[in-house]
A and B are shown apart, each in its own frame.
Chain A
Amino acid sequence: MKPPSFKYHAPRSVEEAAGLLAEHGYDAKLLAGGQSLIPTMNFRLAQPAVLIDLNRIPELAYIHPAGDGGVRIGAMSRHVQVEKSDLIAQAAPLIHETMPLIAHPQIRNRGTFGGSIAHADPASELPAALLTLGGRVQARGAKGARWIEADEFFLGLFTTALQPDELLAEVRFPALPARAGFAAREVARRHGDYALVGVMALVGLDAGGACNLARLTYFSVGDGPTPAPQAAAALIGQRPTSEALAAAAELAASADIPEPVADIHATAAFRRHLIKALGKQALQQAFIRAGGAA
C-alpha cells in the first residue's frame, strides 16, 4: 500500500524542529531513519498529519566520549556508524556487540540509534541495552532540555516518557565498572529478523570472585524491555558456578517472566524455554568476561 498524505518539514536545526513540534504536537511525527515509521505508514497503521524529518540536522549525528569514560551518541547516528565506531567498541562493548543483531545491513545503513530507542519496540535490542547499562537519554523541546534515566523512560508498548513536544537528542552510556562482563544473545528465525526472545546481561565480580553486580534484561517477551530482577538478585554474593547461573535463569522464567507473550512466531512455552536457555548462556559469557570461571 501507499502512505497517506502529510505535510512535510525538514528543519535544519534542533531548535527549528522543536519549534515545529511545539506548533503541531500530537498531529506530528518525527521521521528519523524511517525504518519502522515508513512501513507503518505504508500499511496505513499510522497516518500522521505532519512529518518532521530530522535527517537534515547534522548536529544530531555524532559519537563522542563522555567525561566519565562513557559515551554520548547523537540520536541521528545511523546504526552502521555506531556498529563501526572504534570508540563504541572500546567504551561501550555491549553496544558494539549488539549492533550486528539489529535488522539487516540495508536497515542499519538508514536506521538511527535514537530512533530505535524512541520507538520502543518490545522486540528491539537497544532499549534492553539502555536499561542493562543504566544509560539515560536527553529530551529536547522548545521549553529546554532534560535527562531521563533508562528505568524511567520505557513506559509500555511503543510508549516512552517523551512528551509530544520533545525529541530524543542524545543517548548516554556510563563506563563499565571494573571487573564487569557483559553479553547479548537472541534467537530469530532468520538473522536480522525480530528476535523471538533476546537478553542482555551485565555482571560484576568482587575481589574474592563473588558476584557484586547483576543485571538481566529480556526483550521480545512482553510490552517492552523486561528486566529480571529476581534472577539478578539471586546471583548477588554467589560464586558464578554453572548451578548458580542455571538457577538464576530458571528464576527468570518462573518468577520474573512467567507469562511471556505468545504470538504466531512463538508460543509462551517456547519463549519460557528460550528465557532459560539464553539467560544461562548470556550469564555464562558475561561472567567469563568479568574474569570468573563459570
Chain B
Amino acid sequence: MSETMMISLTVNGQRYQRQVEPRLLLSDFLRHELDLTGTHVGCEHGVCGACTILVDGVAVRSCLMFAVQADGCELLTVEGLAPGPEQLHPLQAAFRQAHALQCGFCTPGFLMTLAPWLAQHPNPTDEEIRLALSGNLCRCTGYQHIVEAVKMAAEIC
C-alpha cells in the first residue's frame, strides 16, 4: 500500500474526513469508505454514466476522479437527492410513475445527470432530453419511458 493522504469533504450535507490512498477512485471511496452504495459502478471508463454524481453542483463521472481530488469539495449522491425520507425528488417520482426503470442499475446516474440539467432547462424538448442523456446507458427501458419521465418531472418542478 502506498502512502495515504487525509481528505475532508462534504457528502449530502455531512462532513467526512478519511485517510485514503491517492489511487482510490471517488466512486469506490463513496461505496467502500462511506457505504454510500447508491452510486453504481458500471464500466469504470466513462462510457456508461452509472456513477454520475454532483461535485460542487456539476455532474461528473465519479469513476474518472480520484478521491483525493475531491478534497474540500461538496458532493451530492443519489442518497441526498430526495428532500426527506418520506419524500421523493420530482425526478424520482416521475421515474416511478412513468416506468422509467426496470432493473434500476443505471437509474442513480440518470437522476444525478438530470437533476442539475432540469433546473437549467425547465421546458425541454424530446431532442434536448436525448442529447442531455447521451452519456448514460440503459439496457432495459429503450429510453422512451425515461424521456417521458423527464417531461413529467419538468411539469411537476
Contacts and interface: CB of A to CB of B under 8 A. Distances in A.
A106 B60 contact: yes
Secondary structure call for the B interface: mixed
A284 B25 CA distance: 46
Contacts of B23: 2-6
Interface residues of B, number: 32
Contacts, number: 89
B22 A35 contact: no
Contact of B22 (A8, A43, A110, A192): A8
Nearest to B109: A106
A107 B52 CA distance: 10
Contacts of A43: 45
A291 to B, nearest CB: 30
A39 B131 CA distance: 23
Contacts of B64: 34-35, 38-39, 107, 110
A53 B69 contact: yes
Given A3-B23, A6-B23, A7-B2, A109 B45 contact: no
Given A34-B64, A42-B44, A6 B22 contact: yes
B28 to A, nearest CB: 7
Interface in A1-38: 1-8, 10, 34-35, 38
A8 B66 CA distance: 10
A265 interface: no
Interface in B121-141: 130-132, 134-136
Contact of B134 (A4, A6, A53, A104): A104
Contact of B135 (A8, A38, A39, A107): A107
Nearest to A40: B45
Interface in B1-36: 1-3, 5, 21-23, 25, 28
A197 interface: no
B107 interface: no
Interface in A41-60: 42-43, 51, 53, 55
A103 interface: yes
A25 B28 CA distance: 30
A152 to B, nearest CB: 31
A38 B43 CA distance: 12
Contacts of B66: 3, 8, 34, 38
Interface in B76-128: 113, 117
A116 to B, nearest CB: 14
B146 interface: no
A64 interface: no
Contact of A2 (B28, B65, B131): B28
B68 A8 contact: yes
Nearest to B64: A38
A109 B58 contact: yes
A69 interface: no
Contact of B69 (A2, A55, A190): A55
A146 interface: no
14 contacts: A5-B22, A6-B2, A6-B22, A8-B68, A35-B64, A38-B46, A38-B63, A42-B45, A105-B132, A105-B135, A106-B59, A106-B135, A109-B59, A192-B135
Given A5-B2, A105-B135, A109-B58, 6 more contacts: A3-B23, A4-B23, A35-B61, A42-B44, A80-B58, A106-B113
Interface of A: 1-8, 10, 34-35, 38-39, 42-43, 51, 53, 55, 80, 100, 103-107, 109-110, 190-192
Nearest first, the 4 A-B pairs at minimum CB distance are: A104-B135, A8-B22, A39-B45, A5-B2
